[in-house]
Amino acid sequence: MAQSVADRPGVRTRVVTAGGVPTKVLTAGSGRPVVLLHGSGPGVSAEANWSGLIPELARDFQVVAPDIAGFGASVGPEGTAYGIKLWVRQLVELLDALELPSATLLGNSFGGGLSLAAALRHPDRVDGLVLLGTPVGTFEMTEGLRSGWHYEPDEAEMRRILTLFPHEPALVTDAMVRSRYEASARPGAQEAFRRLIPEPGPAGTPVRGVQEESLRTIGQPTLILHGREDRVIPVELAWRAARNLPNADLKVFAQCGHWVQLERPDGFLREVRAFLGGL
C-alpha cells in the first residue's frame, strides 16, 4: 500500500474547527504560507489532490492543505448549509486559527473558484493566487462535471470518470481508483457532494463560474496554469481569466488535461516556485 502523505516525516495532520466544521488540515514546512485548495468530485480530498506535492512545496514554503467543508474528512454537523459563504468563512477562520494574517491561495478547479471568491471578499487575507483549471464566466457543462454528480459508488465507474481528467489515461492508477472509490463509498458521501454541486441540466446547460467583470477588481499577483487538452474546464476559460485579472500571467501546458499538478509536476513546481519567489 502506498504511504499516505500524512505519514511522511515533517507532515502534520490536525483538526481545526473553522466555519463551524471540524476541518482536517495537512501542514508542512515553514516560510511564506501557501494554502492548497483541492477540486471537487466524488472521493476528493486535500491528500488526493496534493499528496505528491506537499513534501516538495514544503522544502521552501509553509504549506497548509485543508479538506474543504463537505469533502474528505471535513464534515459539518447535520443541517450544515454548504456553499460559497461557508467555504470562504471556513478558509478565513482557518487562517485565523493558524495565526496567518494572509497567505497565497493555490486552488485547483473548484478550489480556484474558492480562491477567487476569497480574494473578492477578503482581499487583505490574500497575498497572491495560483489558479489551476479554474472555471470563470459562463460555459457549457462538460462530461467530466456531469459525471461526478450522477456517479453512484462503483469502482469501475470511478475509473471511467477519473480517466476523463488527464490527457493520458495511464495516469489513473489502480491505487488512485481504489482510494477515491473507498472515500466516495462512505455513508452519505455522495449525498453530501450532491448538496454542494447543482444538478446538471440537459446538454447545453450553462455552468457559471466567477463572473469576468468581478475578476477585474482582483489586484493580487496571479499565476494561471492550465492544460491545453483539459476536457473538464476548457482552456479557453484560462484565457478569459488572464484577460480580466489585471495582474495575471498564464502558462498553458501542452499534452496536459485537467490535472496540471499531477500530469506535469516538474513544470508545475518550477512555475509555482518562481511565482512565489517573486512576491
Say which of 38, 167, 226, 258 is annotated catalytic. 258
124 is catalytic: no
Nearest 5°: CA angle at 83, between 74 and 52? 45
Q: Look at the block and give the residue holding cell 496567518.
A: 100
Cell of 181: 472509490
109 is catalytic: yes
Cell of 167: 490527457
All residues at 6 or more sequence positions from 16 whose CB lies less than 8 Å from its CB, including other chains: 22, 23, 25, 66, 94, 97, 98
The alpha-helical segments, DSSP class H, found in 29-83 are 46-50, 54-57
CA distances from 193 to 89, 166, 185, 252 (A): 19, 22, 12, 30
CA distances from 42 to 9, 17, 199, 237 (A): 28, 23, 14, 23
User: How many helices (H) does the chain have, and how many strands (E)?
Assistant: 12, 10
Say which of 109, 147, 179, 184 is annotated catalytic. 109
Say which of 51, 67, 226, 230 is annotated catalytic. 230
Please give the positions annotated as active site.
Answer: 109, 230, 258
